[in-house]
Chains A and B, each alone.
Chain A
Amino acid sequence: MKPPSLETVKNWVNERTGLVTFFSEFLHEEIIGGTRFSYTLGSACMFLLTMQIVTGIWQLFYYVPTIDYAYSSLNYLRLQVPYGWLIHGIHYWGGTLFTIIVGLHALRVFIWGSYKKPREMVWLIGILLILITALFMFTGPVLPWDKNGYWAGQVGIGIAGSVPIVGSFTQAILQGANKMGQMALLRMYVLHVAILPAAICAFVMLHLVAFRVSGESGPWDEKKRKKIGYFWPEQIFKDVLVSLLIFMLLVFLSAFFPAPFSGLADPMDTLITPKPAWNFLFLYQILKFLPGPLEPLGTAGAPLVIVLLFASLPFIDNSPEKNPFKRGFVISCGFAFVAVILYLTYLGYIYRSPAEVSQMDHPNQMIVNLTHKKLPEISLEKAMLTVNANKKLTGKELFKTLGCTECHTTTGLASNKQGPDLVMAKGNNRTRNWLHDQIIAPQSHNPVTIMPPFSDLSDDNVNLLVNYLESLEPAAVPVLLPPPPTASGAVDNGALIKYGEQLFNAKGCVQCHTIQGFPSNKPGPDLILAIKKDMPNKDWLKTQLMTPQAHNPLSIMPSFASRLNDNEMNAMITFLSSLSTRKATPLPAGMTEAEAGAQESSGLPTNSSAVSSVNIIGDKEHGGILFHQSCIMCHGPHGNPMTPGFNHPRGVPALNPIDRNVFNSDPQTFVEHIDQFVQHGIPNTEGGPNMPNFGDSHALTQAQIADLEAYVLSLNGVDRTQIMNPGIDPKEFFYMIVGIFSALVLIAGMFWFLMKYLKI
Chain B
Amino acid sequence: MTNHTPTPRSQEPEDIQKRNFIKGLTAAVLGFITLFLTIPFVSYLIPASKEGEDKKFIKVPNFPALAIGAPTKLTFQDVDVQAFITSNIVYDIWVIKNSATEAIVYSPLCPHLNCRYTFVDNEFKCPCHGSVFNESGKCIGGPSPRALDTLPYKIENGELYVQWRLYKAGTPEKVEV
Please report A residues at the B interface, Cβ cutoff 8 Å: 25, 28-30, 54, 58, 61-62, 64, 69, 72-73, 75-76, 80-84, 86-87, 212-213, 215, 228, 230, 233-234, 236-237, 240-241, 243-244, 247, 251, 615, 725, 727, 737, 740-741, 744, 748, 751-752, 755
Whether A84 touches B26, Cβ cut-off 8 Å, given contacts A73-B84, A243-B33, is no
* Contact, CB under 8 Å: B9 / A230: yes
Q: Which residues of A contact B22 (CB under 8 A)?
A: 233-234, 237
Question: How far is it, in angstroms, between the C-alpha of A228 and the C-alpha of B36 when the chains are bound?
Answer: 35
* Contact, CB under 8 Å: A87 / B40: yes
Please report B residues at the A interface, Cβ cutoff 8 Å: 1-3, 6-7, 9, 17, 19, 21-23, 25-26, 28-30, 32-33, 36-37, 39-41, 43-46, 48, 83-85
How many A-B contacts at CB < 8 Å in the complex?
Answer: 87
Q: Which residues of A contact B26 (CB under 8 A)?
A: 233, 236-237, 240
* Contact, CB under 8 Å: A69 / B85: yes
Q: List 21 A-B contacts (CB under 8 A).
A: A29-B2, A80-B83, A82-B40, A82-B43, A82-B46, A83-B40, A83-B43, A87-B44, A212-B2, A228-B7, A234-B19, A234-B22, A237-B25, A241-B29, A244-B33, A247-B33, A615-B84, A725-B48, A744-B29, A748-B25, A755-B17
Minimum Cβ distance to chain A for residue B10 (Å): 10
Question: Closest residue to A230 on the B side, CB-wise?
Answer: B9
Minimum Cβ distance to chain B for residue A183 (Å): 21
Question: Closest residue to B46 on the A side, CB-wise?
Answer: A82
The residue that B44 contacts in the complex, of A25, A83, A247, A748, with Cβ under 8 A, is A83
Minimum Cβ distance to chain B for residue A468 (Å): 48
Which 6 A-B pairs give the minimum distances between C-beta atoms?
A: A83-B40, A76-B84, A82-B43, A72-B84, A233-B23, A233-B22
Minimum Cβ distance to chain B for residue A689 (Å): 34
Q: Which residues of A contact B40 (CB under 8 A)?
A: 82-83, 86-87, 727
Q: Which residues of B contact A28 (CB under 8 A)?
A: 6
Question: How far is it, in angstroms, between the C-alpha of A87 and the C-alpha of B1 when the chains are bound?
Answer: 37
Minimum Cβ distance to chain A for residue B46 (Å): 7
Q: Which residues of A contact B85 (CB under 8 A)?
A: 69
* Contact, CB under 8 Å: A752 / B43: no
Question: Closest residue to A247 on the B side, CB-wise?
Answer: B33
Chain A at the B interface: mostly helix, strand, loop or mixed? helix
* Contact, CB under 8 Å: B1 / A25: yes
A740-B32, A748-B28 given; 19 more Cβ-contact pairs under 8 Å? A25-B1, A30-B6, A30-B7, A58-B44, A61-B44, A72-B84, A73-B83, A76-B84, A81-B48, A83-B41, A215-B1, A233-B26, A240-B29, A241-B29, A251-B36, A615-B84, A725-B48, A727-B43, A748-B25
Q: Which residues of A contact B21 (CB under 8 A)?
A: 751-752, 755
Minimum Cβ distance to chain A for residue B137 (Å): 40
Question: How far is it, in angstroms, between the C-alpha of A73 and the C-alpha of B84 when the chains are bound?
Answer: 6
* Contact, CB under 8 Å: A244 / B2: no
Question: How far is it, in angstroms, between the C-alpha of A752 and the C-alpha of B1 when the chains are bound?
Answer: 34
Question: How far is it, in angstroms, between the C-alpha of A244 and the C-alpha of B39 when the chains are bound?
Answer: 17
* Contact, CB under 8 Å: A233 / B2: no
Minimum Cβ distance to chain A for residue B37 (Å): 8
The residue that A87 contacts in the complex, of B32, B33, B41, with Cβ under 8 A, is B41
Minimum Cβ distance to chain A for residue B81 (Å): 11
Question: Closest residue to B30 on the A side, CB-wise?
Answer: A240
Question: How far is it, in angstroms, between the C-alpha of A741 and the C-alpha of B36 when the chains are bound?
Answer: 11
* Contact, CB under 8 Å: A61 / B83: no
* Contact, CB under 8 Å: B44 / A244: no
Q: Which residues of A contact B6 (CB under 8 A)?
A: 28, 30
Question: Closest residue to A26 on the B side, CB-wise?
Answer: B1
Q: Which residues of B contact A725 (CB under 8 A)?
A: 48
Question: Closest residue to B28 on the A side, CB-wise?
Answer: A744
Q: Which residues of A contact B17 (CB under 8 A)?
A: 755
Q: Which residues of B contact A58 (CB under 8 A)?
A: 41, 44
Minimum Cβ distance to chain A for residue B177 (Å): 22
The residue that B83 contacts in the complex, of A62, A83, A243, A247, with Cβ under 8 A, is A62
Whether A84 touches B25, Cβ cut-off 8 Å, given contacts A243-B33, A744-B32, is no
Q: Which residues of B contact A73 (CB under 8 A)?
A: 83-84
Minimum Cβ distance to chain B for residue A413 (Å): 41
* Contact, CB under 8 Å: B43 / A244: no
Q: Which residues of B contact A228 (CB under 8 A)?
A: 7
Q: Which residues of A contact B19 (CB under 8 A)?
A: 233-234
Question: Closest residue to A740 on the B side, CB-wise?
Answer: B32
Question: How far is it, in angstroms, between the C-alpha of A737 and the C-alpha of B40 when the chains are bound?
Answer: 13
Question: How far is it, in angstroms, between the C-alpha of A424 and the C-alpha of B84 when the chains are bound?
Answer: 49
Minimum Cβ distance to chain A for residue B56 (Å): 18
Minimum Cβ distance to chain B for residue A533 (Å): 36
Question: How far is it, in angstroms, between the C-alpha of A172 and the C-alpha of B39 when the chains are bound?
Answer: 43
Whether A30 touches B2, Cβ cut-off 8 Å, given contacts A58-B44, A62-B83, is yes
Minimum Cβ distance to chain A for residue B173 (Å): 32
Question: How far is it, in angstroms, between the C-alpha of A754 and the C-alpha of B45 when the chains are bound?
Answer: 43
The residue that A81 contacts in the complex, of B23, B33, B44, with Cβ under 8 A, is B44
Question: Closest residue to A29 on the B side, CB-wise?
Answer: B2
Q: Which residues of A contact B9 (CB under 8 A)?
A: 230
Q: Which residues of A contact B32 (CB under 8 A)?
A: 244, 740-741, 744
Question: How far is it, in angstroms, between the C-alpha of A600 and the C-alpha of B39 when the chains are bound?
Answer: 55
* Contact, CB under 8 Å: B2 / A80: no
Q: Which residues of B contact A215 (CB under 8 A)?
A: 1-3
Q: Which of A83, A751, A755 has the most CB of B within 10 A?
A: A83
Q: Which residues of A contact B25 (CB under 8 A)?
A: 237, 748
Question: How far is it, in angstroms, between the C-alpha of A251 and the C-alpha of B40 when the chains are bound?
Answer: 12
Q: Which residues of B contact A752 (CB under 8 A)?
A: 21
Question: Closest residue to A84 on the B side, CB-wise?
Answer: B44
Question: Closest residue to B20 on the A side, CB-wise?
Answer: A233
Minimum Cβ distance to chain B for residue A748 (Å): 6
* Contact, CB under 8 Å: A69 / B28: no
Question: How far is it, in angstroms, between the C-alpha of A64 and the C-alpha of B33 when the chains are bound?
Answer: 29
The residue that B29 contacts in the complex, of A29, A86, A244, A737, with Cβ under 8 A, is A244
Q: Which residues of A contact B39 (CB under 8 A)?
A: 83
Question: Closest residue to B1 on the A side, CB-wise?
Answer: A212
Q: Which residues of B contact A237 (CB under 8 A)?
A: 22, 25-26
Question: How far is it, in angstroms, between the C-alpha of A366 and the C-alpha of B78 when the chains are bound?
Answer: 46
Q: Which residues of B contact A737 (CB under 8 A)?
A: 36
Q: Which residues of B contact A240 (CB under 8 A)?
A: 26, 29-30
Question: How far is it, in angstroms, between the C-alpha of A570 and the C-alpha of B59 when the chains are bound?
Answer: 59
Q: Which of B22, B23, B25, B30 has the most CB of A within 10 A?
A: B25
Question: How far is it, in angstroms, between the C-alpha of A681 and the C-alpha of B32 when the chains are bound?
Answer: 55
Minimum Cβ distance to chain B for residue A61 (Å): 7
Minimum Cβ distance to chain B for residue A488 (Å): 69
Question: Closest residue to A751 on the B side, CB-wise?
Answer: B21
The residue that B45 contacts in the complex, of A61, A230, A615, A741, with Cβ under 8 A, is A61
Question: Closest residue to A212 on the B side, CB-wise?
Answer: B1
Question: How far is it, in angstroms, between the C-alpha of A84 and the C-alpha of B2 when the chains are bound?
Answer: 44
Question: Closest residue to A61 on the B side, CB-wise?
Answer: B45
Q: Which residues of A contact B1 (CB under 8 A)?
A: 25, 212-213, 215
